[in-house]
Amino acid sequence: MKLSKILNNFTCLILMIFIILTGCSKNNEPEKIEYQVLFQGFAALNEFNQLSGATGCLVFTSEEDWTNFCNKYFVCLTSVVTEINNREIDFQSENLVFIYSLGPRHSYDSFTDVKYLLKEGNSLTVEFDNKKETKDRIYVLNNESSKNSLTKHAVAFLLSVKPEDVPENSTNFYMKE
């Protein structure tokens, strides 16, 4: 009788440990998010108001924030995105994820793509498909030291995602400065 009770308790303990470990491992795995590419290429920054930092991934949940950001940093981007996609952005059914990289020397080739947009905890990250080989590249040299070269160009990707795929407490939300 005691042996069967010990085995029963041991089995329950093993089962509880298995459930806890399985649940924790699933919560720590990044989740791939579906997206649609709305823009991919270089974007000229405002000469007198430029982004700080070298790389970023920002989420926009409202037209007001998106317009504010573009007016401040990328003046023509809202109209270009609308024209390229032949449609307006509908913030009721989509959020925007803007990914940029800015530095003294950037290359962009038309074969570089976003491989995955990942939800990891309360943040979104991007993984690029860098394995494609191409000899055709466009380089932009952003002269950081010249006073005569105020315009800089960032490599930019704009993705449309479903609002429910963005964590409610995401660290990537755009905050007005």
**151 vs 54, 62, 106, 108, 131, CA distance in Å?**
15, 27, 14, 18, 30
pLDDT, tens digit, 9 for 90 and up, residues 50-105 = 776 667 789 999 999 999 999 888 888 888 898 889 999 999 999 999 998 876 65
Q: What is the DSSP letter of 165?
A: G
Q: How confident is the model at residue 30 (pLDDT cuts 50, 70, 90)?
A: confident
What does the pLDDT read at residue 47?
73
Report the alpha-carbon angle 110-151-82, nearest 5: 55
Q: Which of 141, 129, 155 is nearest to 104 (CA)?
A: 141
pLDDT, tens digit, 9 for 90 and up, residues 46-64 = 777 777 666 778 999 999 9
| Helical ranges in the chain per DSSP H | 2-28, 63-73, 77-85
Domain assignments of the chain as residue spans, ordered by start: 31-165
Encoded tokens for 69:
């950001």
